[in-house]
Amino acid sequence: MITSFLLKSFDRTIVIAVAVILGLALIVPALNLLTAPDHPLHVPTYLVSLFGKYLTYALLALALDLVWGFCGILSLGHAAFFALGGYAMGMYLMRQIGARGSYGNPLLPDFMVFLNWKELPWFWYGFDMFWFAALMVVLVPGMLAFVFGWFAFRSRVNGVYLSIITQAMTFALLLAFFRNDMGFGGNNGLTDFKDILGFNIQAQGTRAALFAASAVALALSLILTSGMVRSKYGKILVGVRDAESRTRFLGYRVEHFKLFAFTISAMMAGVAGALYVPQVGIINPGEFDPANSIEVVIWTAVGGRGTLIGPIIGAVLVNGGKSVFTAAFPEFWLFALGGLFVLVTLFLPKGIVGTLQGWRARRKEYRKAAADEAARGQTAAEPVAAE
């Protein structure tokens, strides 16, 4: 059962994409660790972390594409799931600091000592163990998505209304996490991390390993989503996107199909956030900013929604562009991003990958038509020659 699911998930494009991503997981760390700093192919450590960050963004965009591209649910709150996964990882990293904080408290993170708290809040228990934190990385976003989706999809909230309430959700979380008494470090968030799984988080080797982990997570998620969208389940998702009432009158419980995709997608976003935090070294409430969720939509649209490779390419290209652009003209980035979105919507409505696929399909059809034509011409010509 599982094997047939996996076999179906591999078509040529996916195999190539997975191979490229896993290749990067080996090559980039190797070029960083094994070459001398003055070697022409050397990848400096700061770039390893920057590329690692792009990979986590790519994973977030892939997660969004599963619900938006394949099921038509335009979530404008996916950054919330990303941030929750990030906070779960951040809590683990905070507790790894132990007595090395500025206040030297073995149990309480610095911000709690600063707030004069005497004991660890109950929801911080367990986060000293990596396995527990890792579980929470998927469980917390997954649970939130499940509960949120349960109510939204059952009451058939659709289209722009759904988008608005997802924005409201991330905004509410933003306000909540800003509060000091929530117990997540308030405004400053969680930072000053020391180690992860016993390794120094600043060390070159750890950075390389985090990059590789991000690439592997992206590759695995790509295989998972590909298996999902290629299965009968995935075809029904697309059916829900294109003709929801038809799926319903065929006897499918549309709300269950949406809920499953939404929950899986939120879990993937949580994993992305958890890999993002150790690479950038901080998580704060700013990650819940509604604008962040909208940016994810733009990456996905630029790359091509409803294709699996598109969001990955879109996330890397747009964020690469952002890094270059903000270095040169920091104040114009938002205009550039907005302009890009308008241009893509107008001229490449299917995004980069969708447009390329369209060309390829049309060329194939054209060739086939030409071949048919030639074949017909020959058969028609034969009787004439015989005469």
Give 28's contacts (C-beta < 8 A, 6+ positions apart): 43, 48, 51, 208, 211, 212, 215
Q: Bridge-partner residues for 241, per DSSP?
A: none
Sole binder of another protein in the list 238, 317, 340, 348 (CB under 8 A): 238
Segment lying near another protein (by CB under 8 A), choices 100-108, 189-197, 250-258, 282-290: 250-258
**Residue 5 contacts another protein per CB under 8 A:** yes
**Longest CA–CA separation in the chain, Å:** 105
What are the phi and psi torsion angles at 33 (to 5°)?
Answer: -85, -35
Structure tokens at 346: 């107008």
Is residue 146 near another protein by the rule CB under 8 A? Answer: no
Cα separations in angstroms, 316 against 50, 148, 296, 322, 327: 11, 29, 11, 10, 17
User: From the CB of 268, what's the least distance to another protein, in Å?
Assistant: 16
> Which position among 42, 194, 248, 322 is part of the footprint of another protein (CB under 8 A)?
248
**Residue of 37, 40, 251, 383 interacting with another protein (CB under 8 A):** 251
d(CA 292, CA 319) in angstroms, rounded, equals 12
Contact between 260 and another protein by CB under 8 A: the answer reads yes
Q: Is 364 in the site for another protein (CB under 8 A)?
A: no
C-beta closer to another protein: residue 147 or 243: 243
Q: Is 155 in the site for another protein (CB under 8 A)?
A: no
Q: Binding of another protein at residue 150 (CB under 8 A)?
A: no
Within 94-123, the residues that bind another protein by CB under 8 A are none
3-class secondary structure, 200: strand
Q: Give the interface segment with another protein, choosing from 95-103, 116-124, 239-247, 316-324 (CB under 8 A).
A: 239-247
* Residue 177: C-alpha distances to residues 235, 272, 379 (Å): 38, 19, 74
Q: Give the whole-angstrom CA distance, residue 170 versus residue 190.
A: 18
Which of 235, 362, 363, 376 lies at the binding interface for another protein (CB under 8 A)?
Answer: 235
Residues in a beta bridge with 195: 200
Is 254 among the residues that bind another protein (CB under 8 A)? yes
Q: Which of 232, 327, 330, 385 binds another protein (CB under 8 A)?
A: 232
4 near another protein, judged by CB under 8 A:
yes
- Smaller CB separation from another protein, 23 or 349: 349
| Distance from the Cα of residue 208 to its chain's centroid | 20
Phi first, then psi, for residue 196 (nearest 5°) are -130, 125
- By CB under 8 A, tell whether 70 contacts another protein: no
Stretch that binds another protein, among 2-10, 24-32, 128-136, 268-276 (CB under 8 A): 2-10
The Cα–Cα gap between 185 and 203 comes to 25
Residue 10, interface with another protein (CB under 8 A)? no
User: What type of residue is 109?
Assistant: P
**Nearest CA-CA partner of 61 in 336, 319, 236:** 319
| Closer CB to another protein, 78 or 258, in the complex | 258
Give, for 58, the enclosing helix (H) or strand (E): helix 45-71
The answer to the question of residue 242 lying near another protein (CB under 8 A) is yes
**Binding interface with another protein (CB under 8 A):** 1-2, 4-5, 228, 231-233, 235-236, 238-239, 242-243, 245-254, 256-257, 260
